[in-house]
Chain A
């Protein structure tokens, strides 16, 4: 069966917008609980990290399933992750720091978890900027790809950002770390080749 590739993009676009719309709905209906600012901060941060990991899952998923169509939404997923990163950062800049550069700089320099979070943002920024087709052409595929490997570092920094702010219950950030480790493992050449073979076997079986 041919996958409905034409519907994939709008579907993923709509799905990725749901957390933001849901957050907006809760904000206007008083659904953010007793501490709305904390709620906004946590939810935008959670979705930024989740979408970053989903983005990193695209390539292994293609290898495993042989579905090349998933590659068409990788950029969109990455940009959506960056969108949630921006909402997360904006919440901090406006509601925590109240636009005070001194406050922000003090935090970035002194608080390890903020250093990590800010590092993740700084690593993702050039990737978002160079995400257009024109930029890929301008940089050349090889250089572009090398640059975009920064996403691995960004994801790791984002997870450390989470681990270092938690008081005692590390289960959630460690779950993200485990997923990240799995996705990185899938990129180890020997593992990646095996995943590719599995995918080819599967597509062969499906077309027979």
Chain B
């Protein structure tokens, strides 16, 4: 019921280095869940087909959301309140509460996305048309910020690969670049010279086509709030949070590596890849541990944020100290 495919679950949960302890903890918790009870702090067992709910969510439910096996099953979900009140979305201000406060006047619909570059089907696509052919999936991912805090979030979205394939990228499409909307009247942070607006991000094409890469439109089975990047954002769970660009208006395929906002701002500290890596510290702070939002003590950060088994092969042979 909860653990549909034990091998997948274990693979995503256990990194080679901290195998033993994590596995013991996993077995203990799995046993406890199987034993019937929903223990406090654990993910409660749910009926099949039911997506994660939080009593504090406003009730803008998305229809037809299906459960998937892509879920962190042995860790407590971060609450709706925490996910929607503690945000890094500098377009609305640099304070953690700023996006929730100043994001309310942002207008996320109607919305269209411009597709351009190395593909057969460039053009302006209405968001509804982008979403229509796909089933909305719930995916429970870890989110690790470069500032060393983390969350466990039940996103709702569609696999990025399926969407990109519809635009028919050409053989020259080696990278995919994304751009956030530029609306300084609705996004007060864009009036400040904090970053080079609009925000831009990018992925290598194989990263973008990876089954874990998600285009997100919701949270806890509900419509994505403005402060979390409405109406359309990226979620690449094995990379630091800033790679998962919000409020996307442009998707462009290119042959060369696109510029990304944080590496423009500080190339020494933020690279193009920005994979979660506990062994490579930020030049100013350690990345070995993290604090789960709402908890008091730090926990170790796993390689690739716990998704090593799924993604490590894409970086085989690369010096991850160099390609930060």
Report which A residues bind B (CB closer than 8 A).
Answer: 33-38, 95-96, 98, 106-107, 110-113, 164-165, 167-169, 171
- Whether a CB of chain A sits under 8 angstroms from the CB of B294 is yes
Report which of B86, B286, B297 forms a contact with A35, defined as CB distance below 8 A: B86
Count of interface residues, chain B, beta-carbon cutoff 8 Å: 26
In this complex, the member of A33, A35, A106 whose beta carbon has the largest number of chain B beta carbons within 10 angstroms is: A35
Report which of A98, A111, A169, A171 forms a contact with B286, defined as CB distance below 8 A: A111
**16 contacting pairs across A/B (C-beta < 8 A):** A33-B97, A34-B83, A36-B294, A37-B291, A37-B296, A38-B96, A96-B298, A107-B286, A110-B286, A111-B284, A111-B285, A113-B285, A164-B284, A165-B285, A168-B194, A169-B94
- Whether a CB of chain A sits under 8 angstroms from the CB of B82 is yes
Q: Enumerate chain B residues within 8 angstroms of A96, measured Cβ to Cβ.
A: 298
Give Cα A37 to B97, complex, Å. 15
Check if B195 sits within 8 Å of A34, measured CB to CB. Answer: no
Check if B195 sits within 8 Å of A168, measured CB to CB. Answer: yes
Given contacts A35-B294, A37-B296, A96-B298, contact A165 B96 (CB under 8 A): no
Q: Enumerate chain A residues within 8 angstroms of B102, measured Cβ to Cβ.
A: none
Q: Enumerate chain B residues within 8 angstroms of A110, measured Cβ to Cβ.
A: 281, 286
Check if A38 sits within 8 Å of B149, measured CB to CB. Answer: yes
Q: Enumerate chain A residues within 8 angstroms of B94, measured Cβ to Cβ.
A: 168-169
Q: Enumerate chain B residues within 8 angstroms of A38, measured Cβ to Cβ.
A: 96, 149, 291
In this complex, the member of A34, A38, A98 whose beta carbon has the largest number of chain B beta carbons within 10 angstroms is: A34
Give Cα A165 to B285, complex, Å. 8
Q: Enumerate chain A residues within 8 angstroms of B82, measured Cβ to Cβ.
A: 34-35
Q: Enumerate chain A residues within 8 angstroms of B85, measured Cβ to Cβ.
A: 33-34
Check if A113 sits within 8 Å of B284, measured CB to CB. Answer: yes
Report which B residues bind A (CB closer than 8 A).
Answer: 81-83, 85-86, 90, 94, 96-97, 147, 149, 192, 194-195, 265-266, 281, 284-286, 291, 293-294, 296-298
CB distance from A208 to the nearest CB of B (A): 49
Residue of B nearest to A169 (CB): B94
Give Cα A112 to B286, complex, Å. 12
Q: A34-B81, A106-B286 are in contact. List 13 more A-B contacts (CB 8 A).
A: A34-B86, A34-B294, A36-B294, A37-B296, A98-B297, A110-B286, A111-B285, A111-B286, A165-B284, A165-B285, A168-B90, A168-B94, A169-B90
Q: Enumerate chain A residues within 8 angstroms of B192, measured Cβ to Cβ.
A: 169, 171
CB distance from A166 to the nearest CB of B (A): 9
Main secondary structure of the interface of B (DSSP, over half): loop
CB distance from A99 to the nearest CB of B (A): 11
Q: Enumerate chain A residues within 8 angstroms of B147, measured Cβ to Cβ.
A: 167
Give Cα A33 to B284, complex, Å. 25
CB distance from A38 to the nearest CB of B (A): 7
CB distance from B245 to the nearest CB of A (A): 16
In this complex, the member of B195, B285, B286 whose beta carbon has the largest number of chain A beta carbons within 10 angstroms is: B285
Given contacts A96-B298, A111-B285, contact A33 B86 (CB under 8 A): yes
Give Cα A98 to B81, complex, Å. 27
Give Cα A34 to B266, complex, Å. 28
Give Cα A34 to B82, complex, Å. 5
Q: Enumerate chain B residues within 8 angstroms of A171, measured Cβ to Cβ.
A: 192
Q: Enumerate chain B residues within 8 angstroms of A112, measured Cβ to Cβ.
A: 284
Give Cα A106 to B284, complex, Å. 12
Residue of A nearest to B242 (CB): A167
Q: Enumerate chain B residues within 8 angstroms of A167, measured Cβ to Cβ.
A: 147
Check if A35 sits within 8 Å of B284, measured CB to CB. Answer: no
In this complex, the member of B192, B195, B265, B293 whose beta carbon has the largest number of chain A beta carbons within 10 angstroms is: B293
Q: Enumerate chain B residues within 8 angstroms of A98, measured Cβ to Cβ.
A: 297-298
Residue of B nearest to A107 (CB): B286
Give Cα A162 to B7, complex, Å. 46
Q: Enumerate chain B residues within 8 angstroms of A34, measured Cβ to Cβ.
A: 81-83, 85-86, 96, 293-294
Report which of A36, A111, A165, A169 forms a contact with B194, defined as CB distance below 8 A: A169
CB distance from B196 to the nearest CB of A (A): 10
Residue of B nearest to A166 (CB): B94
Q: Enumerate chain B residues within 8 angstroms of A164, measured Cβ to Cβ.
A: 284
CB distance from B38 to the nearest CB of A (A): 23
Give Cα A168 to B194, complex, Å. 6
Residue of B nearest to A97 (CB): B298
A-B complex: 5 closest residue pairs judged by Cβ atoms: A34-B86, A34-B82, A169-B94, A35-B293, A168-B194
Give Cα A33 to B90, complex, Å. 18
Q: Enumerate chain B residues within 8 angstroms of A168, measured Cβ to Cβ.
A: 90, 94, 194-195, 265-266
Give Cα A164 to B85, complex, Å. 26
CB distance from B220 to the nearest CB of A (A): 15
Give Cα A33 to B266, complex, Å. 29
Check if A35 sits within 8 Å of B285, measured CB to CB. Answer: no
CB distance from B280 to the nearest CB of A (A): 13
Residue of B nearest to A30 (CB): B81
